[in-house]
């Protein structure tokens, strides 16, 4: 289970925008949303590969803890990346982005990479927020933008990985102090040789995912 | 359609149910066949567990009979069995993840009860996982967190066993309270908060009796260690090299304080009791308050305290008012052990022993003492030192001898009053009160300054002749104290520090007021070592101190001491072009945020920006910054002074939004110089517009369809922010860019207009260019004049520049633009129109001129017509009128100009009404073009803004014209000189 870096992410946004589903979709594809089941999870980890480096992503969903100021505050500070999620079928979730962003900027380190995500892109017919609006919000606030669907998995992979790429880039540019774990980045333990076999939760999923889901039905 | 759809759904559900119950059985079969985990069946097992989870969630959402099967077969037993086989991290992680998902997604209470009803979940919680594996740790703590989110008064019984006194979820979680991984610590805090939130008395009693002391004492120790580390960090800092680490530590400490606050505001009475007791006696008093005695060392900690206050601001702890003498008694009895001591056992052990009170032995003393003393030597005599000797004496004795005599008590009172109160745990202050009352009663006398060394010290520190390192902390502290909702106003009253929301007051703390005023005086001095942040806080406090609901109660003596004037030598760049921009920019970017959360103020004040410290939190470096600073100081002092005098601000900002011409305003452009042009924007759009130049603004208008001679503003921008450049290969065109200045330090100035203006010929183009360029200079000069008047700067011989010598009275009626906003657009009543400008009873600009001419003008007292009153737009315009007119008279290159423009303004209304034929294309006709093309060209530069007195012969000139062609002669000379070729009417002209 060796990795070059570990990046900690948080997912923020209004309730019901599909944060935990996105997380699960990314970390464990075997939970395909079948039978209209919406399944989510509050924590997940997965290995990805950037630039031939193994990078572990640890993603923490902050849902349900908003009532405690101390908790949100600390979460923001300890993360290197944040996915700011809204629901394209509910305008109010888009309208609340500003205050989420303000919170994030206030508490996080200035280097935190924030990706804006318009989720539920599969529900085109019920769309309430145009894609251009998301784009222009992102442009205005210097975020990366993407529309995803936790249900169909569209762009989910990209959202997480692109965020990681940007963090990685910032590390290369020396913007992140990787020795300071308070930034949400950790350097991996010394690489034990040949440990790669059993480990890769991520790589495993890809292969098994489709087959398994069909089995269980 | 609805019922049918439901039916369809139902069928589907029934179908899936069949499949599910089949696969359930299959999975059960798999589990029974594979009770031992091997390399071969590992994946199969993991997959099976996952599928079961999915089915259970489906069951929760659709058909609960799935749960019956699950229960019946005791599926959790299999889980546990698998876990206990040391089956390796892969299976462990998968299982934990599955459990996470399961509990996260179950939404029905009954389903939850099913899952929790056997004690299996608790068995999983206490299972000894390999916590050295960070992934297992993360999944495990997330699992606990997910469970804690499901806690409520009903479900708590599944976790807390009253009979066995077991609460694994909680006790297992808090073992990780100081885990090196921050996310784990955060999760632990979340879990504890979720537990405390559940209003279940037996459970809370258990928490208090069996776990609170060990947990809180360890927590307090943990926090205290951080504080000491932080302090060391400050002490050992050289050249600000520790800033990065320091800011992490501060953030961490703030997290702790927020956490404490979150616990306190859950408002669980008896938990708070234990917590505040620990905080008070093991952290705040020994570490923070006592350390205050050694002035120097305390600084870091002191402002820690100040940090604390805003944090715990909301701590509504009214509960504690019920606390009685008895508590106090207990407290003072305990005072002998007010030390910052490391708990003797580890938390884990304490929990096991379930000791009610862990023995606290003074095994070592990693407390302030050590640090403090060496500090003292290091720093030597600080101004506070002598004062503190006495205090220290008593202090030491109280600690060393451990008597709780009267003196100590008073000491405590004072300390608490000065310091603790700001710790803002009102429990603390509540205790103070009683404490104090008691001691006051005992001593039977008022507490005089004599025995208020702490208060003295606080005041002393406000004195910052040398630097404001300490003063800033003290101000933070005082500010926080007065803003803390948990503070008893009565307590504040005792030190005459009014709460910020205090209704009425008749007197104020003169000592403090005088010291604050001194700060403002220092700040205004050339070499004042006052940082802007300090000054701003000082001003805030002073306002708070002396202004009550009904107005300012400041004594005249004090008011007189307030220095508003700033030595003009401080404005280093005052002669330069950039000064105006700086001036306005500084005005926009006032206010300091999050001051007390910034680690950088912990280090001694520095001057260099190379540290990366905010401008407001350090001293200026170089002339530009010194100028910026002087400007800011001026703004703050001015605002303070106005506030204390209950006078409104009439001069600042120099440009007020509401005074400006805005898009869609409708202007009376009769008599105005207009130049027709084609505006080509960057994206290729083309529009026909008339360019008009006002005092401060240039605008692009299009004719108003409703009223001849009027125009609707399509764009307006400030001349001062405009850049005009010629176009290389087109002599008829100009590139014009207008930037909107950045409104906050984070945003960049962005162009609100970026376009090429194409005029009908190169002459028109040159005219426009000149007019804009002149307009820009004029606008900037105007503002500079006003700044000079405000700042009491020596004014360059500017009479002819601004034309104040001119008899402006005659000008006042000739306003370059008269405009109505949209709302007034329909009113044709001339009286209304007049009324807008009717308030021009005082000559605008005159006052300013006066200011300038006075040797020592007080900016405050000078009436400022440009921005006062409702008719401010009118005023504004009139200023221009008066000022702009002069140049034409005195310095315009071509002396002929003034005649040109002179139309008879008085006549206009009549003519307008007479000629009005709305159906005609408005205003396009260059009526007079034949008469004086050359002239107009030559003179036009200033013509728009200048409205010279009516000259008989010019009236003449005009009156002959109208008959020639145009519907109105309000398409005046200006119109003509700017009329564009593109207009159809052009042909007539020829």
User: Is residue B460 exposed (0-12), middle (13-18) or buried (19+ Cβ within 10 Å)?
Assistant: buried
Return d(Cα B986, Cα B980) in angstroms, integer: 7
User: Would you state the pLDDT for residue A119?
Assistant: 93
Q: How far is A141 from chain B (nearest CA, A)?
A: 10
DSSP string, B765-808: HHHHHHHHHHHHHHHHHHHHHHHHHHHTPPPPS-IIIIITTS-G
Tell me: pLDDT of B901 over 50.
no
Chain A residues inside the 8 Å CB shell of B312: none
Query: B47 — contact with chain A (CB < 8 Å)?
Result: yes
Chain A residues inside the 8 Å CB shell of B182: 74, 77-78, 181-182
Residue in B closest to A38 by C-alpha: B105
Section B587-595 average pLDDT: 62
Return d(Cα B489, Cα B487) in angstroms, integer: 6
Helical residues (DSSP H) of B62-133, grouped into ranges: 65-72, 75-84, 89-105, 109-116, 120-126
B945 Cβ partners below 8 Å, 6+ apart? B693, B694, B695, B775, B778, B816, B880, B881, B884, B885
- The better pLDDT of the pair B726, B195 is held by B195
Partner residue opposite B101 with nearest CB, options A39, A64, A212:
A39
Return d(Cα B633, Cα B565) in angstroms, integer: 10
CB contact under 8 A, B262 and A69: yes
Per-residue pLDDT tens digits for B677-694:
888 887 778 888 888 888
Tell me: pLDDT of B411 over 50.
no
Q: How far is B93 from chain A (nearest CA, A)?
A: 10
Partner residue opposite B142 with nearest CB, options A30, A43, A181:
A43
Residue B913, both tokens? 């009404």
User: Would you state the pLDDT for residue B592?
Assistant: 57
∠ CA B721-B724-B727, rounded to 5°:
155
User: Would you state the pLDDT for residue B896?
Assistant: 34
- The better pLDDT of the pair B990, B462 is held by B462
CB contact under 8 A, A70 and B259: yes
Partner residue opposite B248 with nearest CB, options A20, A45, A182:
A182
- Would you tell me how many other CB atoms lie within 10 Å of the CB of residue B738? 21
Partner residue opposite A73 with nearest CB, options B90, B183, B255:
B255
Chain A residues inside the 8 Å CB shell of B185: 74
Return d(Cα B635, Cα B988) in angstroms, integer: 57
User: Would you state the pLDDT for residue B284?
Assistant: 67
Cis amide bond preceding B653, omega within 30:
yes
Per-residue pLDDT tens digits for B843-855:
233 333 333 334 4
Can you say whether residue B358 is alpha, beta or left, with left for phi > 0 and alpha for psi between -120 and 50 degrees? Answer: beta
Q: Which of B42-56, B151-165, B857-871 is predicted with the least confidence, judged by mean pLDDT?
A: B857-871
Tell me: pLDDT of A20 over 50.
yes
Chain B residues inside the 8 Å CB shell of A208: 43, 47
Partner residue opposite B97 with nearest CB, options A41, A177, A181:
A41
Residue B718, both tokens? 């400030």
Interface of B with A in 738-777 (CB under 8 A): none
DSSP 3-state assignment of B155? coil
Q: How far is A88 from chain B (nearest CA, A)?
A: 22
Partner residue opposite B23 with nearest CB, options A20, A73, A216:
A216
B142 Cβ partners below 8 Å, 6+ apart? A42, A43, A60, B96, B100, B187
Q: How far is A76 from chain B (nearest CA, A)?
A: 10
pLDDT band for B743, please (50, 70, 90 cuts): low
Asked if A111 and A175 count as a contact pair (C-beta separation under 8 A), the reply is yes
- The better pLDDT of the pair A119, B431 is held by A119
Residue B700, both tokens? 């692009």
Phi and psi, residue B378, nearest 5°: -60, -45
**Chain A to chain B Cβ contacts (< 8 Å):** 105
Return d(Cα B255, Cα B174) in angstroms, integer: 17
Section B943-951 average pLDDT: 37
User: Would you state the pLDDT for residue B711?
Assistant: 84
User: Would you state the pLDDT for residue A203?
Assistant: 39
Residue B530, both tokens? 């006052």
The enclosing H or E element of B336 equals none
User: Would you state the pLDDT for residue B504?
Assistant: 64
CB contact under 8 A, A1 and B135: yes
Query: B313 — contact with chain A (CB < 8 Å)?
Result: no
Q: Distance of CA B271 to CAs A195, B204, B260, B274, B396, Å? A: 48, 8, 11, 5, 31
Partner residue opposite B105 with nearest CB, options A40, A58, A60:
A40
Residue in A closest to B147 by C-alpha: A42
Interface of B with A in 585-614 (CB under 8 A): 594
Partner residue opposite B262 with nearest CB, options A8, A20, A68:
A68
Chain B residues inside the 8 Å CB shell of A60: 142, 183
User: Would you state the pLDDT for residue B918?
Assistant: 37
Asked if B765 and B755 count as a contact pair (C-beta separation under 8 A), the reply is no
Chain B residues inside the 8 Å CB shell of A32: none
Q: Which of A100-114, A132-146, B973-987 is predicted with the least confidence, judged by mean pLDDT?
A: B973-987
CB contact under 8 A, A70 and B97: no
Can you say whether residue A52 is alpha, beta or left, with left for phi > 0 and alpha for psi between -120 and 50 degrees? Answer: left
Asked if B183 and B136 count as a contact pair (C-beta separation under 8 A), the reply is no
Tell me: pLDDT of B268 over 80.
no
pLDDT band for B492, please (50, 70, 90 cuts): low
Instruction: Specify which of B97-106, B277-286, B551-560, B925-934 reaches the highest per-range mean pLDDT.
Output: B97-106
Pairing label, strands B818-820, B710-718:
unpaired
Per-residue pLDDT tens digits for B333-356:
333 334 444 454 555 555 555 433
Q: Which of A32-36, A174-178, A198-202, B431-435 is predicted with the least confidence, judged by mean pLDDT?
A: B431-435
Chain B residues inside the 8 Å CB shell of A77: 182, 251, 255
Asked if B282 and B220 count as a contact pair (C-beta separation under 8 A), the reply is yes
- The better pLDDT of the pair B401, A176 is held by A176
DSSP string, A142-196: T-EEEE--TTT-TTHHHHHHHHHHHHHHHHHTT-S-TT-GGGSEEEPPP--TTTH
User: Would you state the pLDDT for residue B465?
Assistant: 64
Query: B258 — contact with chain A (CB < 8 Å)?
Result: yes
Asked if A111 and A170 count as a contact pair (C-beta separation under 8 A), the reply is yes
User: Is residue B905 exposed (0-12), middle (13-18) or buried (19+ Cβ within 10 Å)?
Assistant: middle
B765 Cβ partners below 8 Å, 6+ apart? B731, B732, B733, B734, B759
B562 Cβ partners below 8 Å, 6+ apart? B517, B520, B637, B640, B641, B644
Return d(Cα B805, Cα B233) in angstroms, integer: 64
Per-residue pLDDT tens digits for B121-169:
888 898 888 888 888 999 999 999 999 988 888 888 889 888 888 898 9
Return d(Cα B980, Cα B957) in angstroms, integer: 22
Q: How far is B587 from chain A (nearest CA, A)?
A: 23
Asked if A8 and A79 count as a contact pair (C-beta separation under 8 A), the reply is yes
pLDDT band for B48, please (50, 70, 90 cuts): confident
ipTM of this complex: 0.85
Partner residue opposite B183 with nearest CB, options A60, A198, A208:
A60
Residue in A closest to B252 by C-alpha: A74
User: Would you state the pLDDT for residue B953?
Assistant: 46
Partner residue opposite A216 with nearest CB, options B51, B61, B183:
B51
Q: Which of A63-67, B366-370, B519-523 is predicted with the least confidence, judged by mean pLDDT?
A: B366-370
CB contact under 8 A, A68 and B19: no
User: Would you state the pLDDT for residue B289?
Assistant: 60
Section A132-161 average pLDDT: 90
The enclosing H or E element of B681 equals strand B675-681
CB contact under 8 A, A71 and B186: yes
Q: Which residues of A touch B (CB under 8 A)?
A: 1, 8, 20, 24, 28, 30-31, 34-35, 37-45, 58, 60, 64-65, 68-71, 73-75, 77-78, 106, 177, 180-182, 198, 201, 208, 212, 216-217
Mutate to test the interface with B, among A9, A42, A110, A198 (most CBs of B within 10 A): A42
User: Would you state the pLDDT for residue A28?
Assistant: 83
Asked if A153 and A25 count as a contact pair (C-beta separation under 8 A), the reply is yes
User: Would you state the pLDDT for residue B475?
Assistant: 76
Asked if B615 and B532 count as a contact pair (C-beta separation under 8 A), the reply is yes
Q: How far is B53 from chain A (nearest CA, A)?
A: 10
User: Would you state the pLDDT for residue A91?
Assistant: 94
Total number of residues shown for chain B: 990
User: Would you state the pLDDT for residue B777?
Assistant: 85
CB contact under 8 A, A74 and B255: yes
Q: How far is B47 from chain A (nearest CA, A)?
A: 8
User: Would you state the pLDDT for residue B564?
Assistant: 61
Total number of residues shown for chain A: 217
CB contact under 8 A, A70 and B255: yes
pLDDT band for B972, please (50, 70, 90 cuts): very low
Chain A residues inside the 8 Å CB shell of B248: 180, 182
Asked if B139 and B183 count as a contact pair (C-beta separation under 8 A), the reply is no
Chain B residues inside the 8 Å CB shell of A71: 186, 189-190, 193, 262
Residue in B closest to A30 by C-alpha: B50
DSSP 3-state assignment of A73? helix
Section B223-250 average pLDDT: 77
Per-residue pLDDT tens digits for B278-299:
777 777 666 666 555 443 333 3
CB contact under 8 A, B262 and A70: yes
Q: How far is B234 from chain A (nearest CA, A)?
A: 19
- The better pLDDT of the pair A158, B582 is held by A158
Return d(Cα B555, Cα A60) in angstroms, integer: 58
User: Would you state the pLDDT for residue A47?
Assistant: 92
User: Would you state the pLDDT for residue B412?
Assistant: 33
Chain B residues inside the 8 Å CB shell of A39: 54, 57, 101, 105
Per-residue pLDDT tens digits for B210-228:
888 888 888 888 888 887 8
Rg, chain B, Cα only: 39
Asked if B706 and B822 count as a contact pair (C-beta separation under 8 A), the reply is no
Mean pLDDT (chain B) is 62
Place of tokens 């007019």: B771
A174 Cβ partners below 8 Å, 6+ apart? none
Per-residue pLDDT tens digits for B633-670:
878 778 877 777 777 777 777 777 777 777 788 888 77
Q: How far is A177 from chain B (nearest CA, A)?
A: 10
CB contact under 8 A, B139 and A43: yes
Pairing label, strands A185-187, A5-12:
antiparallel
Asked if B672 and B880 count as a contact pair (C-beta separation under 8 A), the reply is no
């Amino acid at each position: 289970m060796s990795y070059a870096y570990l990046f900690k992410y948080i997912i923020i946004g209004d309730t019901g925008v599909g944060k935990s589903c996105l997380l699960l979709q990314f970390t464990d594809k075997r939970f395909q949303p079948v039978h209209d089941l919406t399944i989510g999870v509050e924590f997940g980890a997965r290995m990805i590969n950037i630039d031939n480096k193994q990078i572990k992503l640890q993603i923490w969903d902050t849902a349900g803890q908003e009532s405690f100021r101390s908790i949100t505050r600390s979460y923001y500070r300890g993360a290197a990346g944040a996915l700011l999620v809204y629901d394209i079928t509910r305008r109010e979730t888009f309208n609340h982005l500003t205050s989420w962003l303000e919170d994030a900027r206030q508490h996080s380190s200035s280097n935190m990479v924030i990706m804006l995500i318009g989720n539920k892109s599969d529900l085109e017919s019920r769309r309430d927020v145009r894609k251009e609006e998301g784009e222009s919000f992102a442009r205005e606030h210097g975020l990366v933008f993407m529309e995803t669907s936790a249900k169909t998995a569209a762009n989910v992979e990209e959202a997480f990985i692109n965020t990681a790429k940007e963090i990685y880039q910032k590390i290369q540019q020396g913007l992140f102090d990787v020795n300071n774990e308070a930034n949400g980045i950790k350097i991996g333990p010394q690489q034990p040789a040949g440990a790669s076999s059993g480990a890769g939760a991520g790589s495993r999923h890809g292969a098994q995912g489709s087959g398994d889901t069909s089995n269980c039905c | 359609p609805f019922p049918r759809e439901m039916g369809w759904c139902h069928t589907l559900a029934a179908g899936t149910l069949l499949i599910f119950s089949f696969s359930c059985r299959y999975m059960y079969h798999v589990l029974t066949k594979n009770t031992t985990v091997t390399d071969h069946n590992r994946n199969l097992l993991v997959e099976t567990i996952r599928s079961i989870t999915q089915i259970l969630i489906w069951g929760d959402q659709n058909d609960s009979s799935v749960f019956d099967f699950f229960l019946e077969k005791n599926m959790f037993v299999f889980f546990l069995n698998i876990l206990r086989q040391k089956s390796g991290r892969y299976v462990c992680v998968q299982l934990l993840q599955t459990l996470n998902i399961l509990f996260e997604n179950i939404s029905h209470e009954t389903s939850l009860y099913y899952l929790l009803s056997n004690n299996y979940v608790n068995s999983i919680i206490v299972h000894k996982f390999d916590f050295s594996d960070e992934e297992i740790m993360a999944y495990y703590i997330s699992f606990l967190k997910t469970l804690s989110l499901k806690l409520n008064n009903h479900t708590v019984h599944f976790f807390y066993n009253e009979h066995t006194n077991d609460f694994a979820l909680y006790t297992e979680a808090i073992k990780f309270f100081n885990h090196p991984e921050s996310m784990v610590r955060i999760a632990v805090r979340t879990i504890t908060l979720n537990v405390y939130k559940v209003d279940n008395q037996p459970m809370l009693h258990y928490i208090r009796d069996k776990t609170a002391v060990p947990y809180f004492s360890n927590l307090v120790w943990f926090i205290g260690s951080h504080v000491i580390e932080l302090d060391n960090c400050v002490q050992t800092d050289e050249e600000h090299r520790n800033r990065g680490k320091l800011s992490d530590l501060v953030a961490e400490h703030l997290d702790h304080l927020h956490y404490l606050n979150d616990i306190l505001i859950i408002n669980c009475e008896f938990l708070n009791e234990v917590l505040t007791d620990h905080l008070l006696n093991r952290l705040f008093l020994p570490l923070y308050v006592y350390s205050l005695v050694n002035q120097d060392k305390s600084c870091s900690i002191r402002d820690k305290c100040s940090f604390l206050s805003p944090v715990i601001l909301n701590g509504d702890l009214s509960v504690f008012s019920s606390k009685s003498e008895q508590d106090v008694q207990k407290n003072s009895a305990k005072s002998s052990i007010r030390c910052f001591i490391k708990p003797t056992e580890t938390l884990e052990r304490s929990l096991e022993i379930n000791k009610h009170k862990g023995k606290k032995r003074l095994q070592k003393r990693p407390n302030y003492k050590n640090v403090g003393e060496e500090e003292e030597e290091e720093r030597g005599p600080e101004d506070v030192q002598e004062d503190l000797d006495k205090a220290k004496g008593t202090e030491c004795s109280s600690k060393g001898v451990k008597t709780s005599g009267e003196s100590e008590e008073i000491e405590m009172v004072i300390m608490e009053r000065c310091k603790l109160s700001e710790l803002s745990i009102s429990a603390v202050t509540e205790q103070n009160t009683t404490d104090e009352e008691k001691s006051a009663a005992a001593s039977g006398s008022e507490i005089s300054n004599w025995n208020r060394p702490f208060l003295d010290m606080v005041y002393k520190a406000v004195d910052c002749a040398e630097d404001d390192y300490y003063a800033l902390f003290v101000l933070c502290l005082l500010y926080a104290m007065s803003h803390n909702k948990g503070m008893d106003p009565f307590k504040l009253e005792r030190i005459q520090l009014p709460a910020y929301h205090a209704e009425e007051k008749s007197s104020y703390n003169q000592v403090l007021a005088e010291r604050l005023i001194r700060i403002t005086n220092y700040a205004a001095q050339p070499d004042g070592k006052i940082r802007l942040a300090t000054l701003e806080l000082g001003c805030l406090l002073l306002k708070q101190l002396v202004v009550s609901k009904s107005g300012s109660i400041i004594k005249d003596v004090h008011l007189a001491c307030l220095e508003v004037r700033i030595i003009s030598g401080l404005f280093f760049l005052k002669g330069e072009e950039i000064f105006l921009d700086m001036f306005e920019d500084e005005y926009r970017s006032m206010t300091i945020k999050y001051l007390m959360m910034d680690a950088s103020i912990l280090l001694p004040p520095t001057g260099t920006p190379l540290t990366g410290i905010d401008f407001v939190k350090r001293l200026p470096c170089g002339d530009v910054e010194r100028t910026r600073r002087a400007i800011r100081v001026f703004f703050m002092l001015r605002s303070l002074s106005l506030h204390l005098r209950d006078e409104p601000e009439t001069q600042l900002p120099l440009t007020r939004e509401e005074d400006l011409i805005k898009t869609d305003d409708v202007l009376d452009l009769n008599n105005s110089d207009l130049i027709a042009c084609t505006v080509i924007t960057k994206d290729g759009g083309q529009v026909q517009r008339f360019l008009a130049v006002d005092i401060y603004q240039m605008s692009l208008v299009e004719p108003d369809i409703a009223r001849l001679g009027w125009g609707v503003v399509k764009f307006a921008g400030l001349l001062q922010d405009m850049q005009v450049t010629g176009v290389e290969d087109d002599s008829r065109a100009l590139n014009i860019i207008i930037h909107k200045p950045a409104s906050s330090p984070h945003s960049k100035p962005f162009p609100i207009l970026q376009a090429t203006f194409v005029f009908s010929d190169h002459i028109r183009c040159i005219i426009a260019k000149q007019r804009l360029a002149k307009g820009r200079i004029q606008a900037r000069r105007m503002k500079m004049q006003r700044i000079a008047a405000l700042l009491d700067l020596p004014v360059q011989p500017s009479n002819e520049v601004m034309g104040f010598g001119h008899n402006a009275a005659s000008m006042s009626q000739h306003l370059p633009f008269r405009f109505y906003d949209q709302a007034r657009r329909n009113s044709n009543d001339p009286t209304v129109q007049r009324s807008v400008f009717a308030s021009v009873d005082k000559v605008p600009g005159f006052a300013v001129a006066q200011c300038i001419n006075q040797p020592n003008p007080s900016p405050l007292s000078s009436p400022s017509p440009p921005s006062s009153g409702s008719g401010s737009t009118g005023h504004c315009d009139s200023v221009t009128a008066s000022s702009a007119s002069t140049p034409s008279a005195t310095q315009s290159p071509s002396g002929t100009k003034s005649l040109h423009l002179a139309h008879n303004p008085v006549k206009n209304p009549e003519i307008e009404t007479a000629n009005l034929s709305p159906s005609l294309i408005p205003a396009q006709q260059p009526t007079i073009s034949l008469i004086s093309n050359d002239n107009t060209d030559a003179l036009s530069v200033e013509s728009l803004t200048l409205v010279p007195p009516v000259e008989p012969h010019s009236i003449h000139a005009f009156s002959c014209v109208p008959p020639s062609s145009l519907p109105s002669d309000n398409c005046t000379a200006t119109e003509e000189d700017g009329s564009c070729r593109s207009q159809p009417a052009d042909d007539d002209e020829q």
